[in-house]
Amino acid sequence: MSVPGPDKPGTGADLLREAAERLRAKANEAQHKRPWCPEYTWAAVRHVQRNVEVECADHGDDPDAECFSFDMYDGHYVAMMHPPVALALADWLDLAEQALRPWEAAGHELTRTDERAVAVARAVLREGES
């Protein structure tokens, strides 16, 4: 059964493979220069926060400007989702894709586990976001 998405047609297995590949690529890019550590992550988040605050300040009084800010809790979350977490998630999506591909090819409906994996893949791929 095909699982069309809001942004791309394709099977659930295709979505899982694409999400795993994207996670793996981004995780490998993120950790290739130095070991991952919470202190470095928090410093990077603070740097992004300062840039966002400067960019929002540049919007002046524009009521339609989309501004946001990071706080300590956002930084802790970003630090928790470090590259090894993304790599483990990519490995799980790979396994789910390997199990789902023949199941879909046989014309079976997605199981709840498959639906959850597809939902994770769509979130990773940011499908449905404007």
> Confidence class of residue 4 from pLDDT cuts 50, 70 and 90?
very low
Q: Is pLDDT above 90 for 34?
A: no
Considering only residues 33 and 44, tell me which one the structure prediction assigns the higher pLDDT: 44
Q: Do residues 120 and 89 make contact, with C-beta atoms less than 8 angstroms apart?
A: yes
Enumerate the domain spans of the chain. 12-125
pLDDT digits (tens, 9 = 90+) for 75-130: 667 767 778 888 999 999 999 999 999 999 999 988 999 999 999 999 999 887 65
Sign, CA dihedral 41-45-51-54, equals negative
- Percent of the chain past pLDDT 90, that is, above it, reads 36
Q: Is pLDDT above 80 for 11?
A: yes
- Given the structure tokens 């899982």, which residue do they identify? 16
Considering only residues 66 and 29, tell me which one the structure prediction assigns the higher pLDDT: 29
